[in-house]
Amino acid sequence: DSGVTQTPKHLITATGQRVTLRCSPRSGDLSVYWYQQSLDQGLQFLIQYYNGEERAKGNILERFSAQQFPDLHSELNLSSLELGDSALYFCASSVATGGYSGANVLTFGAGSRLTVL
């Protein structure tokens, strides 16, 4: 167990629907990162939050949004779902932000597998 908790583990839904993926970071970690892992594109960075504020943005679609709450858990909202959104969505957490050090290693959760039919 990495200490990063993601729910749900599996989710099947239909095109056009909206889903919310949830992440609880490791205790003491202030940064949360979201990644998408699909068959043809590997791990793609979506977005990062630090202590409730957005810090970095990657290839996140406008149909997707995220937030980090005061208790530091984060939610990734995916709306108007398309078949191509089917993927594994990973959350990772780290202690800090803005720089990398041995103490700022990203710890990943087990992921949420989204299937859009």
Partner 1 sequence: GESVGLHLPTLSVQEGDNSIINCAYSNSASDYFIWYKQESGKGPQFIIDIRSNMDKRQGQRVTVLLNKTVKHLSLQIAATQPGDSAVYFCAEFTGTASKLTFGTGTRLQVTL
**Under the rule (CB under 8 A), what is the footprint of partner 1?**
2, 4, 33, 35, 37, 39-40, 42-45, 48, 55-56, 58, 88, 90, 92, 97-100, 102, 105-111, 113
Compute the least distance from the CB of residue 6 to partner 1, in Å.
Answer: 8
Nearer to partner 1, 50 or 81 (CB): 50
Q: Distances in Å between the alpha carbon of 44 and those of 39, 41, 60, 91, 93?
A: 11, 7, 9, 12, 15
Compute the least distance from the CB of residue 91 to partner 1, in Å.
Answer: 8
CA-CA distance, 108 to 92, in Å (whole number)?
A: 4
Residue 85 phi, psi dihedral angles, 5° rounding: -85, -10
Compute the least distance from the CB of residue 88 to partner 1, in Å.
Answer: 6
Nearer to partner 1, 56 or 79 (CB): 56
Nearer to partner 1, 56 or 61 (CB): 56
Q: Distances in Å between the alpha carbon of 51 and those of 25, 47, 48?
A: 11, 13, 10
